Amino acid sequence: MDLGVILLATCMLGNFLLVVGSSAPRAVVETLLTDIETAVPIYKHIGSIWEPVSPKEDFYILGQAVRTTVLRPPKDFQLIVGRSVNRSLAEPLDFDHPWTITPGKLIVWRMNCPFGYVSLGDIASKSRKPDVTKYRCVIKDATVPAIRGLVVHSDPNGDHVMRYVGLTAGWRSPFFLIEYLTSHIQTGFYSLRELYTAPTPMPGEETTIKTETTTVETSTQ
């Protein structure tokens, strides 16, 4: 067996994660909780779409979140941004396959990621194509296939659907998971592995914000 190939075993009892692998460089997605009061409303019409504001220059947006209401999320909901360690994140090559949500005149874009990287969700904008320097794709080794969630909005012909998606991506509260924006134009859906969030008190109530990491071993060829 190639020493660069990892053996990852997960034991659900006690939420215990066992990782057995080689000494290959680790791809680490370091996540940071943002202050929900600073989240930017991208869309408010049929539901709403929210984008985090990173408090640090080296943390980037991994996706936007969608809600069924136009109200600002409560303080126990949080959005994360991510920092790359050992090339765990990569800038999108471009945004393509746009579709328009009506009413509301909102354009939804798909991230075109480099080989070996995936997006956690689509990105919505009110007019122009999003700036690739603000967003990041995630190395596929640091993700798991996501479960398609409930539909939030569908065009009349059903060609484009806005929905929740994911296992542990995006928002988290003690009671709900509200996930990244995705659509039928995406061919794959992904969530971060073992994404943890900071305990209470929430960011904004502390002088520092605690970071948590998602770690996987990368395979060598």
Q: Over the stretch 11-46, which tens digit does the pLDDT of each residue have?
A: 222 333 333 344 556 777 888 888 888 988 888 876
The yes-or-no verdict on residue 66 having pLDDT over 50 is yes
Percentage above 70 pLDDT, the chain: 51
Q: Mean of the per-residue pLDDT values for the chain? A: 65
Give the separation between CA 158 and CA 194, rounded to whole angstroms: 33
Sign of CA dihedral 58, 29, 114, 4: positive
**142: three-class secondary structure by DSSP:** helix
Backbone φ and ψ for 10, nearest 5 degrees, come out as: -115, 125
Give the separation between CA 17 and CA 12, rounded to whole angstroms: 8
Structure tokens, 5: 């190939």
| pLDDT bucket at 171, cuts 50 / 70 / 90 | very low
Percentage above 90 pLDDT, the chain: 12
CA neighbours closer than 13 Å in the CB half-sphere of residue 53: 10
Give the separation between CA 139 and CA 116, rounded to whole angstroms: 6
pTM > 0.85: yes or no: no
Q: What one-letter code names the amino acid at 22? A: S
Length of the chain: 221
CB 140 within 8 A of CB 120: no
